[in-house]
Each structure stands twice: as C-alpha cells, then as structure tokens.
Amino acid sequence: QNQNGNFVESSSFGECWAIIYFYPKDDTPGCTQESCEFRDNLSTLAAHNVKVFGVSKDSVASHQKFAEKFNFNFDILSDETGALCE
C-alpha cells in the first residue's frame, strides 16, 4: 500500500522504468535527504518515462505523515511484513 492506503501493483506501471528504493525508516536524516532528491528531480525522471517508489517497513500512517511533511510527489510503499524488503 502507498501512503494513501491504495494498493500499487507493478502491472500498473505500464511501459515505463521504475526506480524502487528501499530505506530503513521515515523522517530520518539520510532517508529524508534521499527522498527529497527524488522529489526535486522527479520531473526530469518523468520526462524519461521513469516512476519512483520508496519502500520501508513503516506503516501507511507513518508514510502519510512523511509524504505530507516533505510534499513528496511519488508513492511511498508500506512493507510492514518485510516481504518486499527481503
């Protein structure tokens, strides 16, 4: 699920490339910097048909706060079980 509680499936990506980056925890210095770099460069990536997805084991609620605080313009996916992270 993304930060809005919607399920995201790779079949919905269409004919694009995807950057899926994994990080340990929302709103920590390194993770925030990395996520903001993707946010700030998303228009350039989108022009090359690239979508960005962040993934961590944090909850949907945590992701929602993190995404709102930093105005992220891409999906952050919740993997509370750790299955995707593994």
Q: Which tokens in the block code for residue 66?
A: 């993190």
Q: Are 3 and 76 in contact (CB under 8 A)?
A: yes
Pairing mode, if any, of strands 75-78 and 17-22?
Answer: unpaired
Residue 20: CB partners within 8 Å, gap ≥ 6? 53, 55
pLDDT exceeds 90 at position 37: yes
Please determine, for residue 83, whether its predicted confidence score (pLDDT) is greater than 90.
Answer: yes
- Cβ burial of 38 (10 Å; 0-12, 13-18, 19+) is middle
Catalytic residue of the set 16, 31, 36, 85:
31
- pLDDT greater than 90 at residue 24: yes
pLDDT value of residue 6: 95
Q: Please give the average per-residue pLDDT across 5-20, as a whole number.
A: 89
31 is catalytic: yes
* Mean pLDDT across 40-68: 97
- pLDDT the model gives residue 10: 85
